[in-house]
Amino acid sequence: MQPADEQMSGGAKRLLCGNDTNYLSKDDAFPYECKNCGECCRFYHNIRLTPLDIYKLARHLSIDIKDFINDYCKVNIESEILPVVEFKTIGGNSFCPLYINSRCSVHAAKPASCALYPLARIIDISTGTQLYFAQPHECDANAESQSVLDWLVQYNLIDDEAFLSEWHGFLTDTMAAIKRMGALTAICVGTATIHLHSLILTLIYHQYNDDGDFLPQFRDNCEALTDMLAVVSELSGI
């Protein structure tokens, strides 16, 4: 079972669901009761982390953001237009590195995709609307139903909706800007070489003060990156 609340990448992929998909409003209810079996923390792969996920996790663990990424994450810069940060896996069974002693060691700050489960959400690119749906799971037998809104409130995910909209907008706009640059991945300025993936990783994932609110810093970092990409484009003659 894999949470599906992932960042868009590789061309701003959009989950296109057929007519049999039952989207849920926040007032709709779904049956679920966690059995503490750990199945959603084990035997998984490619859990993608947003900058907000990483900010919360690093602050929860009281470590530097760069150290968190180095210790618990892998960064894919080979096959993606933008760098993608994912959890490393440990052991032959691909366990989450924060699944310790048969439990989530960061339950209070776990990533949005994990906190949402068994729900998932996508963004309709044409409207910017956030859509929720229930993923297939085996934890609904004899379970009580609860509303989508109650679930979001329980895991402090309401405030994340503002970030998610801005995050997907940033991904879409930045990938479009990089595509316009063609195959350009780096530019030489004097004796320095600016690698675009490193620039994006630093500004969008690393550069946060954990004493300040996240969203204003994220917006400032996005603006700084947009300005830098414009300079890179100008210097490269694109």
DSSP 118-180: TEEEEEETTTTEEEEEEPP-S--TTPPEEEHHHHHHHTT-TTHHHHHHHHHHHHHHHHHHHHH
Q: In which band, very low, low, confident or very high, does the pLDDT at 64 lie, cut at 50, 70 and 90? A: very high
Given a cut of 80, whether residue 127 has pLDDT beyond it is: no
Host domain of residue 78: 29-158
Residues 113 and 84 in one domain: yes
- The C-alpha atoms of residue 73 and residue 67 are separated, in whole angstroms, by 10
What pLDDT is attached to residue 130?
A: 86
- 95 secondary structure, DSSP code: B
What pLDDT is attached to residue 4?
A: 38
Residues 69 and 178 in one domain: no
Better-predicted residue by pLDDT, 125 or 100: 100
Residues 125 and 52 in one domain: yes
Residue type, 168: H
Reported in sequence order, the residue ranges of the chain that DSSP labels E, i.e. its strands, are 29-31, 73-76, 84-87, 99-100, 103-104, 119-124, 129-134, 145-147, 186-189, 192-195
CA proximity to 116, closest of 24, 206, 213, 8: 24
What pLDDT is attached to residue 191?
A: 67
Residues whose CB is less than 8 angstroms from the CB of residue 228 and which lie 6 or more positions away in sequence, other chains included: 199, 203
Main-chain dihedrals φ then ψ at residue 54, nearest 5 degrees: -65, -40
Better-predicted residue by pLDDT, 198 or 66: 66
Q: In which band, very low, low, confident or very high, does the pLDDT at 35 lie, cut at 50, 70 and 90? A: confident
Given a cut of 60, whether residue 20 has pLDDT beyond it is: no
Residues 99 and 146 in one domain: yes
Taking CA atoms, 126 is separated from 8, 16, 71, 179, in Å, by 14, 12, 37, 20
Given a cut of 60, whether residue 10 has pLDDT beyond it is: no
The share of the chain scoring above pLDDT 90, in percent, equals: 33
Residues 198 and 106 in one domain: no
Residue 11: inside a domain, yes or no? no
Provide mean pLDDT across the span 124-139.
Answer: 81
What pLDDT is attached to residue 15?
A: 37
Residue at a domain's end among 129, 158, 187: 158
Given a cut of 50, whether residue 16 has pLDDT beyond it is: no
Enter the pTM of the model: 0.84
Provide mean pLDDT across the span 1-12.
Answer: 35
What pLDDT is attached to residue 202?
A: 92
Domain count for the chain: 2
Dihedral (CA of 231, 51, 213, 132) sign: positive
Residue at a domain's end among 158, 183, 199: 158
Is the separation of the CB atoms in 19 and 56 below 8 Å? Answer: no
What pLDDT is attached to residue 44?
A: 66
Chain mean pLDDT for the chain: 81
Residue 73: beta bridge partners? 87
Residue 36: inside a domain, yes or no? yes
Residues 105 and 122 in one domain: yes
Coil vs helix vs strand at 31: strand
Residue at a domain's end among 121, 140, 158: 158
Residues 142 and 74 in one domain: yes
Residues 170 and 148 in one domain: no
